Amino acid sequence: MIKDEVVSFLKETPPFTYLEDSELSNLADNIALEYFPKGKKILEQAGAPSEHLCVVKKGGVKVYVTSEDDVETVIDYRGEGEPFGLLSILSGDRSRANVVAEEDTICYQIPRENILEIIKNNPSANEYFLKSFLINFIDKSFEDTRKKYSEISCGDKLIYTTKVADVIRSTPLVASQNLSIQDAARKMVDHRVSSVVVVDENNAPVGMITDRDFREKVVASGKDVSSPINTIMSQNLVTVEASEYCFEALIRMMRHKIHHIIVMDGNVLKGMLTNHDFMVLQGSSPTVLVKEVSQIQSTKELEGTASKFHRVVSHLLRDGAKANNIAGLITELCEKVINSIADIIEKEIGPSPSPYSLFLFGDGGRRELTLDFKLQLGIITADTDASLQQELDADYIMIFASKMNQSLQKCFGDEKQYLDPQNINTFSKWKSLFQTSVSESTSGVLAKFFEMRAIRGGDAEAVYLRKTLTNIASSSEDLMELIATATVQNRPPLGFFKQFVVEKNGEHKNEVNLYEKGIMPLVNVVRIFALGKNVAGDSTSRRLQGLKVEGLDTAQDIELSLEYIRELMIHNQLQQIEEGEKPTNFVNPESLTNFEKKTLKESFQLIGTLYEVIEGQYRTERLV
Amino acid sequence: MTSFLSNIFGKGPEVELPDHIQRQKSLKKRLNLGGSYLDTDFVAFDTELTGLDFKKDSIISIGAVKLKGGIIFPSNSIYRMVKPESELNHKSVVVHEITHSDLDEAEDLDRVIDDFVKFIGDAVLIGHFIHIDLNFVNKVLKKKYGIALSNRAVDTSTLHDWLYENDSRFARHHEGMTDKTDLFSLAQKYGVPAEKAHNSFYDAYITAQLFQRFITFLPDCGIKTVKDLLAVSRP
């Protein structure tokens, strides 16, 4: 009977999976099936609230809001098995967004009363609804409802779904940079705060002072307390935009090992976030794993690290974290692992005879790693004159490299050569490699080094080399042409009739490599655009921000496509892991819903369009 | 003799007709022809038959599902199998994949039709080539009560042809596809999921979904009321 079909559909559709069979059967009794032709507006922003929760059975819908000046912002696309209309069911007053059928769409409709009952009686279903919908809070009036719920649901997800602006409580205490140390200290005591932001005459922040600065730079070193505070302030201001997610702030604080971060709204000081704010927000921290891997003492403890990563990532995904953020976190975790391993190795074989710098390049350099851990490491060793010293250094680094590889293989359970001896060179060797490679046909490989980023030892050398490379690129039409040529060789996997072009044979027959065919082309294109417009930034998302400022129209589309493909990829990897396979970047398009197929195709088409732009800008040869 | 007379004059007044049959007589008065079809109750139904010979063949099963306008209520439905009077015809076993063992749950035809009439109530009926199904249902009702169904009927095949002729978007949208108008071909053509082996119940469900799709085209063609709808989808 059709009812069985409805029940089995619901059974596979969260949050109804949490319901008992009798409850499901009850629900199925009251369900309706509605059809919306493509283009049909199903819910209207500020219009009547939804009477039912709609779950897409086939097809897909777009959820978007329009501002007063008619600017449309897409909140989400909902495909098969995904619900819409919950917000207005909860609030009961009006619809929060427009919902329009993106293709011919069939929906199951579950009456409002049934949904409210489920939310009331079933904690797991309740939690699911709130989690998946909290991601898309839409306006202030819903904020109260949200606050109410954030107390009862788990706090972790909030850092992915809450904007920095929503967390900062008050503007921080500011002090003019000419104020004396003593006056500043008094001010802090009066206001009972542990930090103060130092500002210049235009009220723009120039530095920060915390309790620690008083301890270390004043008391411990016996400094005169009448000197101005700009002599003791820390000048490397780490800031975050108020419009960014808390997650971004947290990542930055972890990276810089700081406990306070300044919140800006453009040029205006907005406030300050502290560890305490996060603890309040989160209850328990998602950074437990970060702590755990930083505290690894022996290589034995490395085993099973990969599966810990998987668990964390699967949590994050379920909580609605953005793929871009997840990639950032995976990279951050990998860096911590590598540093822990390096510590262990140094304990074992002693410190390096000469300084060296360990760097990431490629995906890791851009902070875009996913669960297949395409980690690529390189080392810059110091230039020394004495040949004996050179040999000593080389021996040490080779042992270091082989131990690093063994440990990482153990950690991720594979055989990859993470630190290829080919990528270990002295500083001057790297420099000449970059300078001479312009003429070589292999300069496509060079692209990855635009994102070299030191994670151990000094970063001066890596920064210098990266700048060298950027300078060569901006002054050498030849290099740009070679890079552009290498990029456009990798054609999007769409046939003449826009059908997917899949692998013809081998292990991944009938599948598409999302990384090679989707992520890499977009990353490469963005890199070329960024180089062409002198836009700085070592990650693709940073570059895109810069390119947006430069007025690149397609930046937003690229961002969305990247996010979409990356999320699909991580989802796919998690699924493979759940099925006991090794995570790969391959997906069979036939396993995707129509909606997913369509979005993926559009992303591939975008790549084609971008290639045309590049082919118009640079002399490229398409090798067949 | 009684059966001969009752066939000519109908049942004598001494036999009290059951409520659901009695209701049929006043049904037409209750239908609001000027109202919107979106507010109207419909029942999509289909029968399986031993064959198409009106004299010899009969109903094997009947399936039906309720709608209000274009909204289908999948759980508000019935599916009944009928005990065969004669041996199962080989051909319909192939078409409908009903086997003799399936018929263990089967009931008497009279009872199934009574329940069906109760189920449909005042609803407007929807079917694909619905006159065939109606004929076989009415055959039973005439024999037992001397009446035929008074419910108005919409034929999805007529409606489809009318839209094809009168709505250029409809025609253009489905250009170059099959001309076949059997239920399964139409289902495929309009993206109605129809992978199940068909029995009268799933066919009724598919018919309901075709109707659901077709009526989204109607407002732009000036078809607004139940009366308008009936005019363009006559069996």
Identify whether A93 is part of a domain.
yes
Least CB–CB distance from A28: residue in B65, B75, B213: B75
Query: Do residue B74 and residue A6 have CB atoms under 8 angstroms apart?
Result: yes
Regarding whether A297 and A176 lie in a shared domain, the answer is no
- Closest partner CB to A33 (pick from B74, B201, B202): B74
Chain B partners within 8 Å of A35 (Cβ): 70, 209, 212-213, 216
Whether A378 and A361 have beta carbons less than 8 Å apart is answered as yes
Identify the band that residue A158 occupies on the pLDDT scale cut at 50, 70 and 90: low
The span from the CA of A143 to the CA of B143, in Å, is 67
Q: Is the same domain home to A457 and A415?
A: yes
| DSSP-assigned states of every residue in B64-130 | EEEEETTEEEEEEEEEEEB--SSPPPHHHHHHH---GGGGGG-B-HHHHHHHHHHHHTTPEEEETTH
Residue B213: closest CA among B43, B80, B26, B72: B72
Check: CB of residue A196 under 8 Å from CB of residue A184: yes
Contact A31 B73 (CB under 8 A): yes
- Among candidates A33, A37, A40 on the partner chain, residue whose Cβ is nearest the Cβ of B72: A33
- pLDDT tens-digit series, residues A238-250: 888 888 877 778 7
CB pair distance less than 8 Å for B212 and A35: yes
Domain stops at, among A282, A298, A329: A282
DSSP 8-state code for residue B34: T
Q: For residue A384, with 0-12 CB atoms within 10 Å meaning exposed, 13-18 middle and 19 or more buried, which class applies?
A: middle
Residue A605 CB-density burial (10 A; 0-12 exposed, 13-18 middle, 19+ buried): middle
Minimal C-alpha gap between A120 and chain B (Å): 24
Give the span between the Cα atoms of A128 and B60, in whole angstroms.
Answer: 46
Using beta carbons and an 8 Å cutoff, which residues of A are at the interface with B? 1-3, 5-6, 28-37, 40, 58, 104, 106, 109
Regarding whether A457 and A324 lie in a shared domain, the answer is: yes
Same domain, A170 and A108: no
CA end-to-end distance (rounded Å), chain B: 35
Q: What are the pLDDT digits (tens) for A499-513?
A: 788 888 888 888 999
Contact A33 B77 (CB under 8 A): no
A contacts of B191 (beta carbons < 8 Å)? 58, 104
Tell me whether residue A403 is in a domain.
yes
Confidence of residue A445 (pLDDT cuts 50, 70, 90): low
Q: How far apart are CA A242 and CA A166, in angstroms?
A: 8
Beta-bridged to residue A41, according to DSSP, are A100
How sure is the predictor about A142, in pLDDT bands with cuts at 50, 70 and 90?
A: very low
Choose the final residue of a domain: A225, A257, A282. Answer: A282
3 state DSSP class of A206: strand
Question: What percent of chain A lies above the pLDDT cut of 70?
Answer: 85
Does B213 contact A35 at a Cβ distance shorter than 8 Å? Answer: yes
CATH at residue A126: 2.60.120.10
Q: CB distance A1–B193 less than 8 Å?
A: no
Cα distance between the two ends of chain A: 55
Q: Are residues A365 and A497 in the same domain?
A: no
The answer to whether position A544 is within a domain reads yes
- In this prediction, residue A320 carries a pLDDT of 63
Q: Which residues of A are less than 8 Å from B205 in CB distance? A: 2
Separation CA A90–CA A136 (nearest Å): 14
Question: What's the CATH number where A273 sits?
Answer: 3.10.580.10
Domain count, chain A: 4
* Of the candidate ranges A319-323, A478-482, B104-108, the one whose mean pLDDT is the lowest: A319-323
Residue at A305 is within a domain: yes
Q: What's the pLDDT at A161?
A: 64
Structure tokens at A356: 């060296």
**Residue B72 near chain A (CB below 8 Å):** yes
- pLDDT tens readout for residues A219-262: 888 888 888 888 888 877 888 888 887 777 877 776 777 778 88
What token pair was written down for B45?
């139904």
Of A31, A34, A35, the CB nearest to B75: A31
Q: Spell out the per-residue pLDDT of chain B, length 235, in tens.
A: 445 545 555 554 456 788 899 899 888 889 999 999 999 999 999 999 888 888 888 898 999 999 999 999 999 999 998 886 655 555 555 555 556 556 667 888 999 999 999 999 999 999 999 999 999 999 999 999 999 999 999 999 999 999 888 877 776 655 556 667 888 888 888 888 876 557 889 999 999 999 999 999 999 899 999 999 999 999 8
CB contact under 8 A, B74 and A34: no
pLDDT digits (tens, 9 = 90+) for A33-55: 999 988 899 998 888 888 888 99
Contact B154, B42 (CB under 8 A): yes
Q: Residue A375 maps to which CATH number?
A: 3.30.460.10
One-letter amino acid at A191 equals H
User: SS3 for B35?
Assistant: coil
Q: Is B77 an 8 Å CB contact of chain A?
A: yes
Domains of chain B: 2-232 (3.30.420.10)
Q: How many CB pairs under 8 A join A and B?
A: 53
Per CB-CB distance under 8 Å, the chain A contacts of B163 are none
- Give buried/exposed letters for B9-19 (b at 16+ CB in 10 A, else e): eeeeeeeebee
Nearest CA in chain B to A2: B74
What is the reported pLDDT for A621?
67
Q: How confident is the model at residue A148 (pLDDT cuts 50, 70, 90)?
A: very low
Secondary structure (3-state) at A532: helix
DSSP assignment of B132-184: HHHHHHHHHHHHHHS------EEEHHHHHHHHHHH-HHHHHHTTTS----SHH
Residues of B in contact with A106 (CB under 8 A): 193, 209
A623 is a domain residue: no
My answer on whether A293 and A435 are in the same domain is: yes
Strand runs labelled E in A398-439: 419-426
Q: Which residues of B touch A36 (CB under 8 A)?
A: 216
B193 touches chain A (CB under 8 A): yes
pLDDT value of residue A380:
92
User: Torsions phi, psi of A307, nearest 5?
Assistant: -70, -30
End residue of a domain, out of A282, A307, A336: A282
3-state secondary structure of A264: strand
**Cβ contact A37–B209 (<8 Å):** no
- Predicted confidence (pLDDT) per residue in A370-406, tens digit: 888 889 999 998 888 778 788 888 889 999 999 999 9
User: Taking the mean position of all CA atoms in its chain, how far away is CA A183?
Assistant: 42
Nearest to A603 by CA among A559, A571, A569: A559
Say what the pLDDT of residue A133 is. Answer: 44
Mutation target to probe the B interface, by most B beta carbons within 10 A, among A33, A103, A105, A109 is A33
Q: What angle do CA B110, B114, B119 make, to 5 degrees?
A: 145
Best mean pLDDT range from A481-485, A529-533, A619-623, B150-154: B150-154
**Chain A residues with beta carbon closer than 8 angstroms to that of B79:** 1
| A624 located within any domain | no
Q: Are residues A178 and A148 in the same domain?
A: no
**Residue B118, min C-alpha distance to chain A (Å):** 19
Candidates A25, A34, A30; CA nearest to A5 is A25
Are B71 and A106 an interchain contact pair (Cβ–Cβ within 8 Å)?
no
Residue of A nearest to B68 (CA): A32
The C-alpha angle A263, A269, A271, rounded to 5 degrees, equals 45
User: Based on the domain organization, do A236 and A329 belong to the same domain?
Assistant: no
Query: Within this chain, do residues A278 and A292 fall inside the same structural domain, yes or no?
Result: no
pLDDT of residue B197: 59
Q: Which residues of A463-498 are buried (b: 16+ CB within 10 A; e: fewer)?
A: bebbeebeebbeeeeebbbbbbbbbbeeebbbeeee
Domain annotation covers residue A483: no
A257 token code pair? 């090992």
With respect to residue A161, please indicate whether it lies within any of the assigned structural domains: no
Which residue in B71, B74, B216 is closest to A3 by CB distance?
A: B74
Cβ burial of A87 (10 Å; 0-12, 13-18, 19+) is buried
Strands B71-81 and A268-274: unpaired
Nearest residue of A to residue B212, measured between CA atoms: A35
**Residues A373 and A238 reside in one and the same domain:** no
| ipTM at complex level | 0.80
Pair A614, A528: CB distance under 8 Å: yes
My answer on whether A392 and A536 are in the same domain is no
Q: Which range has the worst mean pLDDT, A359-363, A568-572, B15-19, B110-114? A: B15-19
Residues A460 and A503 in one domain: no
CB contact under 8 A, A2 and B193: no
Q: Which of B96, B209, B95 shows the shortest CA–CA distance to B156?
A: B209
On whether any CB of chain A is under 8 Å from the CB of B70, the answer is yes
pLDDT in the model for residue B215: 94
Euclidean distance between CA atoms B204 and B72, whole angstroms: 11
B199 to chain A: nearest residue by CA?
A: A1
Scanning A228-371, the segments in alpha helix (DSSP H) are 246-256, 275-282, 288-294, 305-318, 323-349
Q: Residue A577 is part of which domain span?
A: 489-617
Contact A64, A70 (CB under 8 A): no
Note whether A40 contacts B216, CB cutoff 8 Å: yes
- The residue length of chain B stands at 235
Interface check B216 vs A, CB under 8 A: yes
Structural contact between residues A407 and A489, judged by C-beta atoms closer than 8 angstroms: no
Q: A226 to each of A177, A198, A218, A222, B61, how far by Cα in Å?
A: 13, 16, 11, 12, 99
Q: How far is Cα A102 from Cα B71, in angstroms, rounded to an integer?
A: 19
